[in-house]
Amino acid sequence: MPSAPTPYPVNLLLADQPVLVVGGGPVAARKVEALLRAGARVTVVAPAAANAIAERSDVTWLRRRYQPAEAGSYRLVVTATNDPAVNARVAADCEAANVFVNSADDPANCTFTLPSVARRGHVQVAVSTGGQSPALARWLRQRIEREVDSGYAALLELLAEARAEAKAHYGTSEVTGWEAALDGGLLELVRVGRVDEARSLLRGHLGLHAPENEPTEALAS
CATH of 115-148, one of 3.30.160, 1.10.3470, 2.60.40, 3.10.310: 3.30.160
Is there a contact between 7 and 130 (Cβ–Cβ < 8 Å)? yes
Q: By three-state DSSP, how is residue 127 classified?
A: strand
- Rounded to 5 degrees, φ, ψ at 204 are -65, -45
> C-alpha angle with apex 192: 179 to 213, nearest 5 degrees?
40
Distance in angstroms between the alpha carbons of the first and the last residue of the chain: 33
Question: Strands 76-79 and 116-120, how do they pair?
Answer: unpaired
Residues 6+ apart with CB under 8 A from 190: 151, 154, 155, 158, 198
Burial tier of 209 (Cβ tally within 10 Å: 0-12, 13-18, 19+): exposed
Rounded CA separation 74/60 (Å): 13
Any long-range contacts for 122-125 (C-beta under 8 Å, 24+ apart)?
122/153, 122/156, 123/148, 123/152, 123/153, 123/156, 124/11
Cα(172)–Cα(220) distance, integer angstroms: 12
For the chain, which residues make up each domain, given as ranges? 18-113, 115-148, 150-206
C-alpha distances in Å from residue 207, one per residue of 51, 180, 198, 201, 203: 54, 12, 14, 10, 6
* Domain 18-113, CATH homologous superfamily name and number: NAD(P)-binding Rossmann-like Domain (3.40.50.720)
Handedness of CA 10, 14, 15, 21 (dihedral sign): negative
Ordered per-residue pLDDT tens for the chain, 221 residues:
456 788 888 999 999 999 999 999 999 999 999 999 999 999 999 999 999 999 999 999 999 999 999 999 999 999 999 899 999 999 999 999 999 999 988 888 999 988 888 888 888 888 988 778 888 989 999 998 888 887 898 999 999 999 999 999 999 999 999 999 999 999 999 999 999 999 999 999 999 975 444 444 444 43
